[in-house]
Amino acid sequence: MMAIETSGRIDKVNGNELSYEEFVERYMEKNQPVVLTGLMDGWKACSDWVDENGQPNLRFFSTHFGKSKVADCNTREFTDQKRVEMSVSEFIDQWCKEAVQERGVTSNNGDIDKPVLYLKDWHFVKEYPNYAAYSTPHFVCDDWLNLYLDSYRMHRDPDSYQEKDEISCSDYRFVYMGAKGSWTPLHADVFRSYSWSANVCGKKQWFLLPPSQSHLVFDRNMKACIYNIFDNNISEILFPGFKKATWLECIQEQNEIIFVPSGWYHQVHNLEDTVSINHNWFNSYNLCWVLDLMARDYNEAKEYIEDIRDICDDFEGLCQRNLAANTGMNFYDFFIFLARFTLANLVVLDNLARDTENVAGSLSPMVQQLAHNLASIKNIVLKMKSLECFSGDQGFVLDLGETHKDPKFSKLCYFLVQTCGYIHKQQISRLCTKTIATHDSRFSTIIQSFCDGVSTPQDLVTFIDGVSTERAKSEAPE
């Protein structure tokens, strides 16, 4: 096994002794990893999914969730792992058979030649919404990605949406189950999102590389990434910078949660039979990482088909379709996502400001968070103004008035305000949630006075500035 250089350590902190503000300041804003303890007490998963010996309760999974279709990922296919679809029952049966046999054939150099079972990307929450396996810790629940996907599809274009595509998927909340020796190859997470992973049972070993060194695991052309950092056959000619990389290593124990920030490449090994819960997510603190990834993927997609520009009727449209297929969304999808979240933050902020059932000033942290959200969105949208895809007719207009009346949008607003309350441990009044749920006519009037719809970044910036100015006037003392 090739040796790698490790240096430094990842903080391990008792989550019960850490405030949300401290988590944001020390880890989320600085994009630094951390292991959190003490946050999984009372999880149903920690009792139902673990047997009396502290091992995965395979019989429970097979009995209660056996018909679910999942993917076993245990062999390499190009730059990823091959996904073999099977039922949970079939997966458990295979796991149990291997448990009573000698696992694999050991060669002279100590490597195990036979692949080890690893169930990945099981959309457990979507499939079993009434089984409360866990509660998302408040540190990591400001999750715009999954909140949005609970109401909307990511893609406007139905042709770009594939129901079973792991990129174009229904949500990014997963359960993983792996036998000892299973592992995940080197990668950075989808959308360059944050991720958190909770070990329900078992032990994982993590190797993480800071974003400032990510170029060291790519080839000379910055196209191909190393698959396995412990491969003895990594070419110094193809990957000249690899030996210069300095890794952070971390052992994650049972009942611990690791926060993996944006852009950190990581490789993960299960040291024991393991069951974990994993979320990918982004919010106002890492939108810039999402846009940066899309910009790089767009340039690659565009470069790949540049030779057909002159004979293509809709070259830009083709670039956007390819971007959606390769990355999970395109610039138009991301813009509509930001526009809906802009409106949701403004609606919630307006309702909180008018909520007379709350003591004056008691909602200050929530108001500050919503204001920060809007400032971050505006910053990203301003960067999007220069994108070529917005230089002409985009072929769509998001009607903000109709969006505001949509029950799906009311659901988005409701869960946004509930999330803010949960994060800051503040009770939201019934009046506030009722007003949000009933499409408040006052805000409909505000929308109509500023903007019927948005189709460009400048439209959205104008809307944010206009509504913010109107709010400031209404709150000013007479």
Domain segments of the chain: what residues?
6-281, 286-475
Rounded-to-integer distance, Cα 115 and Cα 75, Å = 6
Task: Report the DSSP beta bridge partners of residue 80.
Answer: 77
Structure tokens at 382: 């301003």
Mean pLDDT for each 10-residue chunk of the chain (478 residues)?
84 97 97 98 97 95 94 66 84 86 44 72 93 97 96 72 50 95 95 97 97 96 93 93 96 98 97 97 97 95 90 90 91 96 92 63 81 96 93 84 90 92 85 70 74 88 88 61
Q: Please, are residues 18 and 36 in contact by the beta-carbon 8 Å criterion?
A: yes
Cβ-in-10-Å burial (0-12, 13-18, 19+) of 74 comes to buried
Q: Which of 278, 277, 265, 270 shows the shortest CA–CA distance to 251?
A: 270
Query: What is the CA 318 to chain-centroid distance, rounded?
Result: 26
Q: 441's torsion region: left (phi>0), alpha (psi -120 to 50) or beta? A: alpha
Non-local (6+) Cβ contacts of 335 within 8 A are 381, 384, 390, 457, 460
Non-local (6+) Cβ contacts of 353 within 8 A are 367, 471, 475
Q: Please, are residues 30 and 23 in contact by the beta-carbon 8 Å criterion?
A: no
What is the model's pLDDT at position 104? 47
Strands, DSSP E only, in 371-471? Answer: 398-399, 453-454
To which H or E segment does residue 449 belong? helix 441-450
* 275: helix, strand or coil: strand
- 379-432, pLDDT tens digit by residue? 999 999 999 889 877 778 899 988 988 999 999 999 999 999 999 988 887 767
Rounded-to-integer distance, Cα 244 and Cα 146, Å = 37
Rounded-to-integer distance, Cα 252 and Cα 270, Å = 10
Give DSSP secondary structure letters for 276-310.
EEEEEE--TTSHHHHHHHHHHHHHHHHHHTGGGGG
Span between the terminal Cα atoms of the chain, in Å:
73
What is the model's pLDDT at position 468? 82
Rounded-to-integer distance, Cα 61 and Cα 175, Å = 12
CATH number of 6-281: 2.60.120.650
Q: Say what the pTM is.
A: 0.91
Q: Which of 418, 375, 173, 397 shows the shortest CA–CA distance to 284?
A: 375
Pair type for strands 183-187 and 256-260: unpaired
Rounded-to-integer distance, Cα 71 and Cα 427, Å = 40
